[in-house]
Amino acid sequence: MNAPLDLVLITGISGSGKSVALHALEDAGWFCVDNLPPELLRGFVGVESAREAGARRSAVAVDVRSAQSLTHLPTLIDQLRREGVGVRPYFLDASTDALVRRFSETRRPHPLSAEPTGGARALVDAIELERTLLADLRDRSTVIDTSQLRPAQLSRWLRDAVGARGATLTVVFESFAFKHGVPLDADFVFDLRVLTNPHYERELRPLTGRDAPVQAFLEAQPEVGVMLGQIEAFIGHWLDAFRDGQRAYLTVALGCTGGQHRSVYAAEQLAQRFAARAATLVRHREQDL
């Protein structure tokens, strides 16, 4: 008997990195199809389900060029899951500023830049329209914010995410710098800027929260232990509720000024504390270059 099909569905805002994500999975040995119209997804699943077990990891990218049928995609995802298909939708998002910059650099038109009447939409208007069209799909998906990510980072993050299959809930601890914006994919955001900053210690300035001297410095500050304990208690208290709510991912974002010392240390420490209670992933947005 064949094993259930493992299908990763890549969707998201135009310019957010769907092609990069699909290429990353293709390089990792997945069978990938780009821009598959949603109405053909069920037929694709039928074909893939008949393939040999060794070739049953498949990924499909769907975007707003299929806008007419996208509204039915969330319902189709639910139907396929009830039928035993392991559909895992990932939604790539980015800030409007980042998207405008990317379209300006590539000089490519946005897919929704043309009005049905023959006129043209401004780029920002096209982006906001796309957000509206994809809002329901975003709510049904695991969101990855690519605003500050380089292509190599996105590739690694996605491969890590799909590699976590089998866990009922994966808790992602992500460090970031407030000066570069709060991650759009965060479920919870904790501000660590109230803690003593190792940046002002000359010998610690070039190091990160993964280095022993910075760890020793922070562990010597009583308030650091208090804050980590309170975050651990809060997440731990609600962990089963998130798991029972059929959540695949819970992203806990930990921010400091530069995303180098305090937030990196906190993400690493919390991941260790939760390793026995849930599958965990650690991301350092400003460091994983």
Task: Output the pLDDT for position 50.
Answer: 59
Residues 183 and 258 in one domain: yes
Is 26 inside a domain boundary?
A: yes
Residues 156 and 179 in one domain: no
Torsion of CA 17, 19, 24, 26, to 10 degrees: 160
- Residue 259 C-alpha from the chain's centroid: 18
Is 130 inside a domain boundary?
A: yes
Q: Please tell me the pTM assigned to this model.
A: 0.79
Distance between CA atoms of residues 130 and 124, nearest Å: 10
- Look at residue 114 and give its three-state secondary structure: strand
Is 256 inside a domain boundary?
A: yes
Angle between helices 73-82 and 123-139 (to 10 degrees): 20
- Look at residue 287 and give its three-state secondary structure: coil
Residues 6+ apart with CB under 8 A from 160: 281
Q: Strands of 6-12's sheet, edge to edge? A: 31-33, 57-61, 6-12, 86-93, 142-145
Tell me which residue range forms the domain holding 268. Answer: 170-284
The model's pLDDT over 104-159, given as tens digits with 9 standing for 90+, comes to: 998 888 988 888 777 888 999 999 999 998 898 898 899 999 999 999 999 988 88
Residues 126 and 216 in one domain: no
Distance between CA atoms of residues 187 and 193, nearest Å: 19
Percent of the chain with pLDDT over 90: 60
In the structure encoding, which two tokens stand for residue 121, read together? 């939409």
The model's pLDDT over 171-208, given as tens digits with 9 standing for 90+, comes to: 999 999 999 999 999 999 999 999 999 999 999 999 99
Is 252 inside a domain boundary?
A: yes
Residues 50 and 156 in one domain: yes
Is 289 inside a domain boundary?
A: no
Residues 124 and 30 in one domain: yes
pLDDT band for 1, please (50, 70, 90 cuts): very low
Residues 136 and 17 in one domain: yes
Task: Among 162, 180, 208, give the residue marking a domain's end.
Answer: 162
Is 1 inside a domain boundary?
A: no
Neighbours of 5 (CB within 10 A): 21
Residues 38 and 66 in one domain: yes
Residues 203 and 90 in one domain: no
pLDDT band for 75, please (50, 70, 90 cuts): confident
Residues 6+ apart with CB under 8 A from 51: none
Task: Among 144, 162, 180, give the residue marking a domain's end.
Answer: 162
Contact 24, 155 (CB under 8 A): yes
- Residue 124 C-alpha from the chain's centroid: 23
Angle between helices 18-27 and 151-162 (to 10 degrees): 60
How many domains, in total, are found in the chain?
Answer: 2
Residues 133 and 236 in one domain: no
Distance between CA atoms of residues 194 and 241, nearest Å: 29
Is 128 inside a domain boundary?
A: yes
What is the residue type of 106? Answer: T
Task: Among 107, 137, 162, give the residue marking a domain's end.
Answer: 162
Residues 153 and 186 in one domain: no
Is 154 inside a domain boundary?
A: yes
Residues 212 and 93 in one domain: no
CATH number at residue 69: 3.40.50.300
Residues 127 and 193 in one domain: no
Distance between CA atoms of residues 187 and 91, nearest Å: 14
